[in-house]
Each structure stands twice: as structure tokens, then as C-alpha cells.
Amino acid sequence: MTAILHPHPTRKATLRVAPATVARVSHSEIAALFELPFNDLLFRAQTVHRQHHDANAVQLSTLLSIKTGGCSEDCGYCSQSAHHGQAERESLLDVSEVIEAAQAAKDKGATRFCMGAAWRGPKDKDLDQVETMIKAVKGLGMETCVTLGMLKAGQAERLRDAGLDYYNHNLDTSAEHYDKVISTHCHADRLDTLAKVRDAGVKVCCGGILGMGETRADRVALMAELANMATPPESVPINNLVPMPGTPMAGAEAIDPFEFVRTIAVARIIMPASYVRLSAGRQQMNDELQALCFLAGANSIFYGDKLLTTGNPEADHDAALFARLGINGA
């Protein structure tokens, strides 16, 4: 299968896709999944889910912003962009603060600790402190994940050598819709960083954001691109846009909740071995909608008090919901 990419005209995408002999799923097959009756789609997704995962276990991650605000990129959904001026610029956290937060997350049941920095990409000098953070969190017995923006040559290897398990770098949306969301970098830049991460032997955490004015065809294209990577992402965050005041997408129309659940189900079917993470926007969901997402195959959440600069359901509420559903945090 050839890559279905529409990169910036001055750049060449370097993402490796599945060869023709091992093509996993076509656009038409994914579109057909979206068209299934809702109950049929969920039944199929739950069947696939049970073949690859514990049906009643959800992996718990906590995300800490280690450097907030002042990002030079103009991502239309993000309040941390300097272009939108909504989040106060802060310095990189001290390692001691990160260790304290990671220990608190572990004490609440989280098994993966993710650290996010509002950068276009890290400077080499920034990585010294990030490497120390990774080693410290790893020393607590937790899986480690970072999201630092676009990487330069050699940086993924440095993170790997520090003990990094996952690097998060979302595609956000389809290649066709990308320039309607971001103008300061292109779709191919995302693919280039993902290739660096894969080449370094670090696991990939990569998904998208729904509700940014994209069409279903865009959601189909995003799912196809993720599933047809040579190795699909081990972790696939599905975010529901939280419109942030002052950003270009502050007035974005919310995605239909059933369409959101459909996307979770499609991700589960076409990427059966991956963690599918119910990510940003969960605070805006009632318990019943979250339960539908778990039924559709979501088996990872961010767990704790904050998700970067947006709110996240408190851990006690999550624990109560899990108890009602008979779900075990993993």
C-alpha cells in the first residue's frame, strides 16, 4: 500500500508505511466501518478488544506540564501558543517537583507518567534536565512518556538512553485538513519526528483531535494513516477538542458524541493491539458517554487533576466510575 500523504510542497515526508504485501486497511474499509449501525460497530469493536486485551482493565496515565506557555507554534486549538497569549509563560519545572508529582500519581494508581513541554522542539541543553526527569520517574517503577514537540537528529536516541518508553507526537488531523489547524509547521514535520522516534527504538504514542471542523472523511484519513504505519502506534490518544477561550477554535462546533464513540471503535478495530486512550475532553463527558467509549475499546485514560492546561476528572470520581463499571485500573 502506498502512503496517502499530502505533505508541504517543499518537504518530503519520511514516514514509513506498511508495504503493499502487508497493507492493513484501506480508506474504503474504514469508511465502511463508520457507516455500520452503531450497535453492530460496537459489537465488532468489543469482540476485537476482547481478543487482544483484558475487557475490564483500563491503563492509567498521568500527564504533567513540565513547561507551560510561550510555544512558538500557532496550533489553533492550543492555549499555550504564544500567538494566542492565553497561558502564562513558565520555566521548566525543577526535577524535584516532577518527582513529587510522579510519586503522587503512582500513589493514586497511575502506571505511566507523561511529561509535556510547550516547545516547538527541545534545545539540546533542555534535554539535560528532561533526561534527569525521565531517569527519576523510571526509578519509581513507572513507564515514562514525554511530548516535547519536533525532534532534531540524535535527540530521540538521547531520550531512549535516559530510559524513555513512549514519545507522544499526535498527527492531530488528516493531512488534507492540517493547514486549517496549524500554519507554523506542516504535516510532514510531524511524520519526520515520528520516524526519528521509531528509528531510535522508542514506542510511539500518536493519535488525533476530533471536533476541529474536520469531516468524517478527514477522520477516515487520519485513522488510515495511523493504522498503516509500518508499526502502528502502541498508544493512540483520541482527544475531544476542548475549545479554549482566545484560541482560533474557541467557537468550534462540538462533535456529535456518537461520532466520537464511533471513532474510538474504529481505532480499536483497525489497531487491535494498541492502547486506545480516551484523552482530552473527558471532563466534558458524562459517565454514560465514558462507559460507551470503554465499550467501544478505549482502554487507557489520563488520570489525575490536570491534563496540561485543561481540567481532568478528579481521581476519586474516576475510581468511583470504575467501581460502578467493574473496571480495574492497570
Q: Are the CB atoms for 75 and 124 separated by under 8 Å?
A: no
Is 206 designated active site? Answer: no
Is 114 designated active site? Answer: yes
- Catalytically annotated residue among 44, 78, 190, 282: 78
Euclidean distance between CA atoms 90 and 92, whole angstroms: 7
Distances (CA, A) of 225 to 25, 151, 152, 219: 10, 20, 23, 10
Strands 203-205 and 166-168 turn out to be parallel
Comparing C-alpha atoms, which of 114, 201, 120 is closest to residue 158?
Answer: 201
- Catalytically annotated residue among 186, 205, 206, 293: 205
Number of H helices, E strands in the chain: 10, 12
Identity at 137, one-letter amino acid code: V
Is 205 designated active site? Answer: yes
Is 186 designated active site? Answer: no
Strands 275-278 and 300-302 turn out to be parallel
Distances (CA, A) of 146 to 7, 121, 176: 25, 12, 27
Q: Whose grid coordinates read 500519581?
A: 105
- Catalytically annotated residue among 75, 186, 206, 293: 75
- Catalytically annotated residue among 44, 145, 158, 262: 145
Is 71 designated active site? Answer: yes
Q: Are the CB atoms for 269 and 33 separated by under 8 Å?
A: yes
Euclidean distance between CA atoms 70 and 91, whole angstroms: 10
- Catalytically annotated residue among 71, 186, 206, 293: 71
- Catalytically annotated residue among 158, 190, 198, 277: 277
- Catalytically annotated residue among 44, 112, 114, 186: 114
Element (H, E) at 205: strand 203-205
- Catalytically active residues, by annotation: 71, 75, 78, 114, 145, 205, 277
